Amino acid sequence: MDQIVNVNEFQELAKRALPKMYYDFYSGGAEDQHTLKDNVEAFTRILFRPRVLVDVSKIDMSTRILGYPISAPIMIAPTAMHMLAHPQGETATAKAAAACNTIMIVSYMASCTIEEVASSCNAVRFLQIYVYKRRDVTAQMVKRAEKAGFKAIVMTVDVPKLGRREADIKNKMVSPQLRNFEGLISTKVIPSEGSGVEALAASTFDASLTWKDIEWLRSITKLPIMVKGILTREDALKAVEAGVDGIVVSNHGARQLDYSPATITVLEEIVHAVGGRIPVLLDGGVRRGTDVFKALALGAQAVLIGRPVVYGLAAKGEDGVRKVIEMLQSELELTMALSGCPTIDDITRNHVKTENERLHSML
């Protein structure tokens, strides 16, 4: 791993390590994959306004999310079926998160059980959920997460139906039986045509889900509830009205609606709408410590890392995941030093210039 100098290089290693079906499943986006590219490229259109002659001999990247301390504002996003990437699956990812003193959001569609992840190491963890047509299945998962010591529920709200992921359709992507659901529902789908993951989603996900269902979720758990999948100020305001404890600005890694905006481009609109009442996190396209800094400058409290974590896991297991997080942390530390920001609180809106501002200044 000595030759790996940035997070992007793990993608090529993962491509070599994984069967094509699984690599395509992790790496692919919806339809023309416009949003997939733009999630990453939108960061390149934001420039820094670095400040100099500031004492940056000590850099403190630590912060808190829902009151829980983390070493840096870089968390692990919920991504499905880690055992397709590595035999140890989510337990390896969880150990890496714990070693880096950060929070992992465990996917509802994890290969390992909630209990296996919880017992693998001592750490703060959140559970991401989908609401199934069979509410008893979702309710049982939430109860198990509570019992296993998970600290928050992250409800994904942008999947009334699964986005059209054409690589999975071509590959006839197999959906394995997930151990969390054994004895409850079958998740194993081997498609004669099309994607097994899509077939599973069509049979289980509840397309009738509305804002009222946050009340239902609140009625079955005392844990804080965050909603993931917000892309507009209108929905951000509705989320605040619904009494959620946090928002994740996300387009589902560009896997749902192609031509939805890159998340970094709508972050500020959502931050303004929320007005500091609840934390706003950013998911999508983060590949560098500079990206993390830009998200923080535009008002995010932390970012979530999805694909790079899976690529690190596929390439080098637990060590690979740890290396991905550590690389991003050390790049963020350097960016803070070179921008004149000794602490996270020192990062302000004045430290970045967006494309719109640059265009406006030319007029």
The answer to the question of whether 250 is labelled as a binding residue is yes
The answer to the question of whether 287 is labelled as a binding residue is yes
What CA–CA distance (Å, rounded) separates 363 from 360?
Answer: 5
3-state DSSP: the chain helix, strand, coil percent, rounded to 5? 45, 15, 40
Q: 65 in helix, strand or coil? A: strand
Query: Hunting for tokens 């959920």 — which residue is that?
Result: 129
The answer to the question of whether 307 is labelled as a binding residue is yes
Q: Check residue 179 and report its DSSP letter.
A: G
- Please name the helix (run of DSSP H) or strand (run of DSSP E) that holds residue 281, with its range, or none: strand 280-283
The answer to the question of whether 125 is labelled as a binding residue is no
DSSP bridge pairs for 48: 352
Beta strand extents in 103-201 (DSSP E only): 104-106, 125-129, 152-156
The answer to the question of whether 64 is labelled as a binding residue is no
The answer to the question of whether 78 is labelled as a binding residue is yes
Strands 68-70 and 63-65: antiparallel
Active-site positions read 252
The answer to the question of whether 143 is labelled as a binding residue is no
Sign of CA dihedral 246, 39, 287, 291: negative
The answer to the question of whether 49 is labelled as a binding residue is no
The answer to the question of whether 165 is labelled as a binding residue is yes
Count helices and strands in the chain by DSSP H and E runs: 14, 12
The answer to the question of whether 306 is labelled as a binding residue is yes
The answer to the question of whether 252 is labelled as a binding residue is yes
The answer to the question of whether 128 is labelled as a binding residue is yes
Residue positions forming the annotated binding site for glyoxylate: 165, 252, 255
Residue positions forming the annotated binding site for FMN: 78-80, 107, 128, 130, 156, 228, 250, 283-287, 306-307
Residue positions forming the annotated binding site: 78-80, 107, 128, 130, 156, 165, 228, 250, 252, 255, 283-287, 306-307
